[in-house]
Amino acid sequence: MLAITKPEWIHYTSDSGYAAQINEISLLTKKGLQMKMTAAQVNDYILSTIPIFKTAGCHVEAVVDDPLAGGCITVRQPYNEGTLRAGGSISGPTMMALADTAMYALILASLGPIGLAVTQNLNINFLRKPRNADLIASARFLRLGKRSAVIDVLIHAGDDPEPVAQATGTYAIPAA
C-alpha cells in the first residue's frame, strides 16, 4: 500500500499555520536573495500592466527577504460574494488566479519588473472548502534558476492556520 505523506518542508502547527523546514529542495534556492521591489512597487507594476488585477482586488501585502528560504511574498484576495460558486464555496478559479498572482508577484519582487515572465505550469490541490473570508496566499521559491523558477504557494482563508489549497507552478524567465 502506498503511503502518502505531506512534503517534508511543510510543518503544520495550530498556532502558526506552517513553517518552512530546510531540506534538499530549499538547497536549490538562491540563499540571501535580495528582493528588488517592495510590495507597493509590485502592486503598482501589476496594476499598470494587468488591468484585471484592480478589478479582482488582489494586493501584495508583504515582500520578505528570507535568508533561509530565498524570499517570500504574501498576497491577499478580499472576500467577494461574486467569487462564490454553487453551494456557497469560493470558486476554484478564484484560488487558482490568486496562486498565479502570488507566483508572478514573487518573480517581480525578486528579479525586478520582468513583464515577459510567464506561467509554464500550474498545479493546484484543493485541500478543503474555504470559509467565506479573505484568501491569503504565501509564496516561496522551491528553485530559482536563470531561465525558470519553481514556486510553492499555500492559500489560507482568513486567519485559519490550516491551508485550503496548495499550488506549485513553474514560471519561464526571459533571457536577460
pLDDT tens for each residue of 107-156? 999 999 988 999 999 999 999 999 999 999 999 999 999 999 999 999 99
* pLDDT at residue number 176: 73
87 pLDDT tier (thresholds 50, 70, 90): confident
Residue 6 has pLDDT above 70, yes or no: no
* pLDDT at residue number 36: 92
User: What value does the mean pLDDT take over residues 14-26?
Assistant: 34
Residue from 95, 87, 104, 92 nearest 139 by CA: 104
pLDDT more than 70, % of the chain: 79
Q: Cα–Cα distance between 11 and 47 in angstroms, integer?
A: 34
10-22+33-172, superfamily in CATH? Hotdog Thioesterase (3.10.129.10)
Indicate the domain borders of the chain: 10-22+33-172
Average pLDDT, the chain: 82
Task: Give burial (CB, 10 Å; 0-12/13-18/19+) of 130.
Answer: buried
Q: Cα–Cα distance between 29 and 150 in angstroms, integer?
A: 9
Per-residue cell: 164 = 485550503
Query: Model-level pTM?
Result: 0.80
